[in-house]
Amino acid sequence: MTVHFSETNEDLSPFFDPIFEAQYVQHFQADKPKKQKKQLQFVMKDDADQILAAASCQQLYQMLKIEDLAVDPALQHQKLGSQLLDYIKDYASSHNLLTLILTTRSYQAKDFYLKQGFSIYGQLADVPFEGVTTYYFVYKV
């Protein structure tokens, strides 16, 4: 057999889904729950409708991954990030989510997330490039 490799933009879920479904059924002896995946955006604005802080998240089953979270640089150190994270934690709790996860880099907000009750469950040096450490955080709702 000759094999060929290529990059693709095609949807590969018809290949992956039956494989992962069979693994789930074999392990749990039950049908895999329907994939519950959705993109969520949380925004904090002022009275003039200007964005002060925002977070882009992805919910998968009972987990919420905070992909991006930022506060306007001119407004940092005014507890806006803490307020936004509290809002996200409340959302997670009221929607029966169990876990929040996120990553941050050594030049970003490691200490901030520790103060917010997140725990580091992993770190990789020189990721995504030399001289930077990426930290992996978890928060149990």
pLDDT for res 60: 94
pLDDT for res 90: 98
Q: Any idea what the Cα angle at residue 88 is, between residues 84 and 92, rounded to 5°?
A: 170
Distances (CA, A) of 48 to 45, 51, 72, 80: 8, 9, 15, 16
At residue 35, does pLDDT exceed 80?
no
At residue 120, does pLDDT exceed 80?
yes
Q: pLDDT tens digits, residue range 50-71? A: 999 999 999 999 999 999 999 9
For residue 31 the two structure tokens come to 């049908």
Domains of the chain, CATH where assigned: 14-140 (3.40.630.30)
At residue 33, does pLDDT exceed 90?
no
pLDDT for res 7: 93
Distance in angstroms (rounded) separating the CA atoms of residues 91 and 40: 11
* Residue 102: strand pairing partners: 66, 137
pLDDT for res 34: 79
